[in-house]
Amino acid sequence: MTQRIVLKSLGELGRFADLLAPSDRPSNERALVPVVVEPMMAPDLEALADAASRAAEELRHLAEADSRARREAEAALTRYRRLQGDRARLQRIAGEAQTVADRAAALAQEAFEPACRERAGAVAIAAAFVAATARNRLQAVEADVETLGAREDLARLLEEEREREEAARRQAEERQREARLRDGIARAEALAKERKFNEARRLLGRLAQECPNSPALASYIDRIRRQEWAVKTQRLEEALRQARRLIRREPREAIALLEPLDLSGMPDTLVRQVYGCWLTGCRGLGLESAIHYPAAFGRGAVLIPTRDNGLEVVSAIGLPHWQPGRRLSRAALKGAHPLR
One-character DSSP codes across 37-49: PPPPPPP-HHHHH
> How much is the average pLDDT of 320-334?
88
Distance between CA atoms of 293 and 301, rounded to whole angstroms? 5
- 262 by Cβ neighbours in 10 Å (0-12 / 13-18 / 19+) ranks as middle
Kindly report the number of other CB atoms within 10 A of residue 176's CB atom. Answer: 10
Please give the model's pTM, rounded to 2 decimal places: 0.50
pLDDT band per the 50, 70, 90 thresholds, residue 217: confident
Q: Are 313 and 303 in contact (CB under 8 A)?
A: yes
DSSP per residue over 110-161, as a string? H-SSHHHHHHHHHHHHHHHHHHHHHHHHHHHHHHHHHHHHT-HHHHHHHHHH
Of the pLDDT bands very low, low, confident and very high (cuts 50, 70, 90), residue 198 is confident
Residue type, 173: E
pLDDT digits (tens, 9 = 90+) for 137-148: 999 999 988 988
User: Chain centroid to CA 92: how far?
Assistant: 42
